[in-house]
Structure 1
Amino acid sequence: MQYLQGQQLLILGLGISGLSMARWAVRCGAVIRVADTRETPPGLQDLRALVPDVEFISGPLDAARLLAAKEGQRITRVLRSPGLFPGQADVKALLQAAHEQDIEVMGELELFTEALAQIHQEQLRQQAEEMLQLASEPDVLAAGTETTTADVLAEGMTPAFDENLADGDHSGIVVELPDGEFEETSDDTEDEPVFVPVPPQPVGYVPKVIAVTGTNGKTTVTALTALLVERAGKSVMAAGNIGPAMLDMLAQQLDADALPEVWVLELSSFQLDGVKNFDPAAATILNLTQDHLDWHGSMQAYAAAKGHIFGAHTTRVLNRDDAMVMDFKPQAQVAEADSQTKRRGRSKSQPKDMAPRMVTFGLDVPVVAGDFGIADDGGFPWLVQAAAADETRMDAQAVAWQRLMPVDALRIRGRHNASNALAALALASSIGCEMAPMLFGLREYRGESHRVESVAIVNGVEYFDDSKGTNVGATVAALAGLGVDHRIVVILGGDGKGQDFSPLVPLVQQHVRTAVLIGRDAPVIEAALADTGVPMLHAGSMDEAVRLCAKEAVSGDVVLMSPACASLDMFKNYAERAKAFVNAVHELAEDQGQVMGGWQ
C-alpha cells in the first residue's frame, strides 16, 4: 500500500509515537525528514536501522530549515508527535509557517484514521478486480444463451428477467445466489429456470473503532472493553496510549493478514489535541479532573482536547457522575432531556435496533432505557441496565432494571472500578456485542498493574498498589472506591506537579484513619490537609512508609499507596515506586511469618 509514494514528510518528535509514524510513512512510500530538540532521542537508533540515510535534524526547531524543499521536493505534510507542546515558541512558529504554506499538519490518530480508510479503498479495488476476473468467465443463463456475469452486472438484470418485467409478468424466474439459495416467484410458466450468478458486492475493511479517554481509568477501561468484545466473539485489538502504538499494531496485523473487526483505542489529551475528522463508532470520556494543565493551559482547553474524541456519528458514552463530562451530551439530545426523563425510554423517532447516540453510566440507579448503573437488590449492590418496561407508558414507573451481576462478583475492587466496568459494558454493547458472554468476561477480569491492585493481606489488613495514581483525581477515585467498605491508611506524596490538593480533603476526612506522607511535596499536602483532623506522619522511604502504615492500621482496614503525585523525585518511574511498595509489603509479611514471595 503505497498511498504516500514520493511524498516528503516532516516528522516532529522521535518518541514512541514519532517513531511509529516514521515507520508507517516509510512503509507507505514516503520520504521522511525527522526533527527532535534532543541530540539523541530514544528512537534514533531504530530510525537509522529503518532508514540508514534518513535526514535527522536535532536542536531548536527552525521552521525555514525544516520546511525547506529537498531536491525540488517540497514538504507536503507535517506529522506532530502528541507530546510536542504546540504552545512552545519554536513549535508554534513552525506550525504557523506550515499553515501559511498550505502544508497539512496532522498527528498519530489522524494518520491512523487515514490508514484505515486507505486499507478500505485498497481492499475495494482488489475485490473489484477479482469480481471482474470472475465475470469474464461465460455463464449459461438459458438454453442456447451465453453471456458473462459482467454483462449481467452492466445491465443490472438478465435479459430474460427484463422481458418478464416488460410484459408485466414478474414470475417464473429463479435466481441462484452464490451460496446456493434461490429467489423464486410462483407461476404456471413452462419456461426453463433461469440461473443468474450474483457475485458478492465489494465491502472493503470497515472495522468498528471504540475510543477511550479521561483523566483516570483509561487503561483499565480500554483493556476491559477489549476483553468483553473478544468474549462476545469478535476479533479485537487494543492500542494507543495503552501500548503498542496504533500504527505499529496496524502494520503488524496487516502483515499477519489478521485485521481485527474492532479496534479499542486508549487516547490521551495529547493525542486528541487538535484532531479533526475522527469519528469512532463509540467513545467515552470517563472523567475530567485537573491534569496536564501546564501543557493545555487551562481546564477548559484540557476538556476541549478530550472532546475531540467524539465525531458526528459517534455513540457518546458519558459518566453521569461527572458534570463536566455530561456537558458533552449531544446537542440534539439536550432539548429532549426533559422528555427523555419523563419517558424513561428511547426517543420515539429512533428505531429500536439503532444504538442511541448517547448512553450514560454512573454509580446511581439509571432512569433512561439503555443506560447503566448500580441498584440495590436485597441489600446487595448490582450492576444493572435500565430497560423500558412498557414503551406505551409515559410516567416515571416505565423503567425496569435488568440485573447484570453483583458488584461483589467483580475481581477489581472499589466503586470506581464498578464505574469502569459499567463504562466498558456500555461501550461494547453499543457496537452490538451480546451481554451474556461479556458478563463472563467481566467476572474473570483481574485489573491492570499498579491500579488499585491488591498486593497482600497481612494481619487482616489488605495492601493496595495504586502507584499509577499520579494525580489528585486518581487518588480521589481510589479513596472513594475503597472507602465505601473500609477505613484507609493512605500513602501520599511525591512530585505534585503544582496540583491543587484540596479535592482530597473531603475524602480524607471521611475515609482515612492516617495519612503517611513521602517525597518532595509532602509539606504541600500536609498544609492542604491540615484542617481534616486526620493524623499525618512523615516517612523518608517507601519501606519506612509501609512500616508506619502497618502500625496505624487495624484488622479490616486497607493500606492504599496512591500518592496523587508523580514519582520522579524519589524513583525512576511509577513502576519502580510500585516495586518498592510491593517489596516492602512482602518483607513485612515475612517478618510476621506470612511468606508471600517478592518481586525479582
Structure 2
Amino acid sequence: MKDYQGKNITVIGLGKTGLSCVDFLTAKKANVRVIDTRKIPAGAEQLDKSIPLHTGSLNQQWLLESDMIVISPGLSVKTAEIQTALSAGVEVVGDIELFCREAAKPVIAITGSNGKSTVTALVTEMGKAAGLSVGMGGNIGIPALSLLNENHDLYVLELSSFQLETTYSLKATAATVLNVTEDHMNRYADLEEYRQAKLNIYHHCQTAVINGEDPLTKEDDKQSAQQQVSFAENNADYWLKTENGKKYLMAKDELILACDEIKLTGRHNHMNALAAIALAQAAGIKNSGILTALRTFPGLAHRFQLAHMANGVRWVNDSKATNVGSTVAALTGLHIEGKLHLLLGGDGKGADFSELEKLINKPEIFCYCFGQDGAHLAKLSSQSQLFNTMEQAIETLRPTLKPGDMVLLSPACASLDQFASFEKRGEEFTRLAKLSVAQ
C-alpha cells in the first residue's frame, strides 16, 4: 500500500472508472483534481462539488502541479501534454496500477485481442462454483478499485492494452495473453508496439498461460513469469483430444470434459475454455468448480450468441467482433448446412482486412458490407454487396434465406460510426432477426 495523504493528484477522465479513482484517492486524503477533455463528461453530476473539475481540454498547469496523474485508458501517454508532465518528473499511472498496489489477494489477469471477456467471465464462474468470493472487473463490469470494497478471496481482471500501458505493479498468480491480432492501429505505431503493451501482463506473474498456436503471445526475455503453460488444439499442456469423432478438453493426460458437455460452441470457444481451465488450475481453483462452470456457463451476450432461430435459419450475433482477428476466429472451423450470410462493416480502426479474404472467398459465403469501411470489405469477395446500413443489408438478404442457412453478424469493425456501442449494434441485429417471423 502507498501513502497518498496530502499528495496533489490529478485524475484524467470521469465515467465509472474516473469516479472510482476519485473515491479511492479522497478516502486516502489526497488532494484531488479532475480533468476531462469532454465539455460535458459522463459522471460529472456525481462528482463532489468540492473537487475542482476542468473540462474541454487538458489543463497543462494542473498536470505540472501534480505529484501524480491517474490517466484514463482512453487517453494515450503519447499525448503532448502528458509527455510534458512526464518530462517534468510527474508520475503517470492508471487505475489498475492503483489497484495492484492495494490488492492483498491473488489476481488472475487476462488480456488478448479476442476472447478476453468470455475467459474472464468463465474463470470467475469457476471460482464461484468452487465456493470462492470472486471479484471480477477491470475492462469488464466493475472498475478494479471498486472491487477493493469487498472482502474477496480472488480477483479476476480483464485488462486492455491501454490499461497495461500504465501498470507496473501487477504480480498475477496466473496471467494470459490469449492472442494478438491487429487492433487499435490508430493508437499504436505497429503490431509489435501493441503486442508489447499486452505482454506487460506477464511481469512478475507466477504462471504465464500462452497460446501455443500464436507465437506473439509468448513472453519476451524481459518478462519474468516463474513458470509457463500452454493451450492449443495439439502439442500443448491444455489441448483438445479427438476420439471417435468427439472432442475432449484435456489437461496433459487428464480428461477434463467432453466438448459436447459444455455450453460454449465453436472452436474458438474450445480454445477459450482451455485457457480458462489453465488459469483456474494455476490459481488453485478446485476441479469441481471448473467442471460445474464449464457445464453451465452460457457465454456472453453479443459474442457468437444465437440471437434467433426461425424456419431452419440461425441468426448469430457476434457484434463483439470489433476487429479482424475476432471475425477470423468466428469463421475458422465454422460448419453450416446451407449458406452463410455474413454481415461485415463499421469503423475498421485502420486495420488491414486482407486476412479475411481467404476465409470468405468460398461458394457458400455471401457478404453484406455496410458502414464506414464497408467499401473496403466489399472488395475482398466477388460475392459481396455494399449497403449504407445493416438494416438495408438484412432487408436484401432476408428473402433469399433457406433452411440450413446462417446469418452471422461478425463485423470485424468497431460500431461507433453508426451505433452507440457494439451492444446497441447487436441489439439492433437481434431486433431485425426477429422480424423474420412476421415476414
Asked whether the two chains share a fold, i.e. TM above 0.5, the reply is: yes
Alignment CA distance shift 1:567-1:2 (3 Å):
closer
Mapping of residues 77-476 of structure 1, within 5 Å: 77-97=68-88, 99=89, 103-116=90-103, 206-251=104-149, 253=150, 259-328=151-220, 357-366=227-236, 371-386=237-252, 401-476=253-328
Aligned to 1:405, what secondary structure does the other structure show? strand
Cα distance change on mapping 1:552 and 1:328 into 2, 3 Å: farther
**Structure 1 residues 486 and 383: alpha-carbon distance in aligned structure 2, compared to 1, 3 A threshold:** farther
Equivalent residues of 1:317, 1:361 under 8 A apart? yes
Q: Which residue of the partner structure matches residue 8 of structure 1?
A: 8
Q: How many angstroms apart in 2 are the aligned matches of 1:283 and 1:19?
A: 27
**What is the percent sequence identity of the aligned residues?**
36
Equivalence for 1:518: 370
SS in 2 for 1:462: strand
Inter-partner Cα distance in structure 2 for 1:377 and 1:584: 40
Could you say which residue in structure 2 is the equivalent of 1:564?
Answer: 412
Distance 2:154 2:389 in 1: 45
Taking the aligned partners of 2:152 and 2:91, their CA distance within structure 1 comes to 29
Tell me, in whole angstroms, the C-alpha distance in 1 between the residues paired with 2:419 and 2:205: 44
Secondary structure of residue in 2 paired with 1:412: coil
8 Å CA contact 2:378–2:385 kept in 1: the answer is no
Structure 1 CA distance for aligned equivalents of residues 16 and 266 of structure 2: 33
Contact 1:2/1:27, CA 8 A, preserved across alignment: no
- Give the deviation of 1:425 after TM superposition: 0.7
Distance in 2 of aligned mates of 1:357 and 1:512: 45
Using a 3 Å threshold, how does the CA distance of structure 1 residues 294 and 520 change in structure 2: closer, same or farther?
closer
Structure 2: how far apart are the matches of 1:372 and 1:472? 26
State the Cα distance separating 1:364 from its structure 2 match: 2.3
In structure 1, C-alpha distance between the alignment counterparts of 2:364 and 2:256, rounded to whole Å: 32
1:126-175 Cα deviation digits (max 9, x unpaired):
xxxxxxxxxxxxxxxxxxxxxxxxxxxxxxxxxxxxxxxxxxxxxxxxxx
**Partners of 1:87 and 1:417 in 2: how far apart?**
35
Cα deviation for residue 406 of structure 1 reads 1.8
CA distance in 2, matches of 1:433, 1:239: 18
Displacement of 1:525: 0.7
Contact map agreement 2:339 2:366 (CA 8 A) in 1 = no
Shift of residue 480, structure 1, vs aligned partner:
1.1
Change (3 A) 1:485 1:8: farther
Tell me which residue corresponds to 1:63.
Answer: 60
Q: 1:331 to 1:512 in 2, by over 3 A?
A: farther
Residues 1:512 and 1:358: Cα distance change in structure 2 (over 3 Å): farther
Distance 1:77 1:215, change over 3 A: same
The answer to whether the 8 A contact 2:342-2:408 is kept is: yes
One-letter code aligned to 1:361? F
Q: Distance in 1 between matches of 2:413 and 2:355?
A: 14
In 2: Cα distance, 1:228 partner to 1:46 partner: 35
Aligned-pair CA distance for 1:569: 2.4
Per the alignment, residue 201 of structure 1 pairs with: none
User: How many angstroms apart in 2 are the aligned matches of 1:42 and 1:216?
Assistant: 27
TM-score normalised by L of structure 2: 0.93
Q: Deviations over 1:551-592 (max 9, x none)?
A: 44443332210111122222222222112111111110233x
Q: Please report how far the alpha carbon of residue 362 of structure 1 lies from its aligned counterpart in structure 2 after TM superposition.
A: 1.2
**Aligned AA for 1:61?**
L
1:288–1:485 CA distance, 2 compared to 1 (3 A): farther
CA contact (8 A) 1:494 1:518 kept: yes
- Determine the C-alpha separation between the residues in 2 that align with 1:297 and 1:330: 21
> Tell me, what secondary structure is at the counterpart of 1:549?
helix
Tell me which moved more, 308-317 or 5-14: 5-14
Compute the displacement of 1:327 (Å): 4.8
The 3 A distance-change label for structure 1 pair 286 and 512 is: farther
Change in Cα spacing, 1:207 to 1:331, as seen in structure 2 (3 Å) is closer
SS of residue matched to 1:455: strand
- Shift of residue 65, structure 1, vs aligned partner: 4.2
Deviating more after overlay: 536-545 vs 557-566? 536-545
1:462-510 Cα shifts (integer Å, max 9, x gaps): 1100111111111111111534887522111122222111011122135
Change in 2 beyond 3 A, CA 1:484/1:329: farther
Query: Which structure ranks higher in relative contact order (CA pairs < 8 Å, sequence separation ≥ 6)?
Result: 2
Residue 536 of structure 1 and its aligned partner are, at CA, apart by 1.3
Shift in Å at residue 328 of structure 1?
4.6
TM-score (norm 1): 0.69
Report the CA distance shift for 1:536/1:569 in structure 2 as closer, same or farther (over 3 A).
Answer: same
Change beyond 3 A, Cα 1:512–1:211: farther
Larger displacement relative to structure 2 (536-545 or 275-284) = 536-545
| Equivalent residue letter for 1:412 | L
Given that 1:483 and 1:511 are in contact with CA atoms closer than 8 Å, whether structure 2 keeps it comes out as no
Contact 1:413–1:482, Cα closer than 8 Å, also in 2: no
Alignment partners' CA distance in 1, 2:336 and 2:229: 26
**SS of aligned partner of 1:294:** coil
Deviation string for 1:334-371 (max 9, x for gaps)?
xxxxxxxxxxxxxxxxxxxxxx71111112253xxxx1
- Is the counterpart of residue 42 in structure 1 residue 33 in structure 2? no
Are the counterparts in 2 of residues 487 and 513 from structure 1 also a CA contact under 8 Å? yes
Distance in 1, Cα, partners of 2:363 & 2:300: 24
**Native 8 Å contact 2:338 2:364 kept in 1:** no
1:454 and 1:499 map into 2 onto residues whose CA distance is: 27
Whether the aligned pair in 1 keeps the contact of 2:204 and 2:224 (CA below 8 Å) is no
AA aligned opposite 1:546: I
- Please say if residues 3 and 29 of structure 1, whose CA atoms lie closer than 8 Å, have aligned partners that are also in contact: no
CA RMSD of aligned residues (A): 2.3
| Alpha-carbon distance in 2 for matches of 1:9, 1:301 | 28
The runs of 5 or more residues in structure 2 that have no matched partner are none
CA distance, structure 1, for counterparts of residue 224 and residue 30 of structure 2: 42
The CA deviation at 1:431 is 1.1
- Once the two structures are overlaid, the 10-residue window that deviates more, 408-417 or 505-514, is 505-514
Q: 1:487 to 1:328 in 2, by over 3 A?
A: farther
Q: 1:524 to 1:64 in 2, by over 3 A?
A: same
CA offsets 1:295-319 (integer angstroms, 9 cap, x no match):
1222111111111111224200111
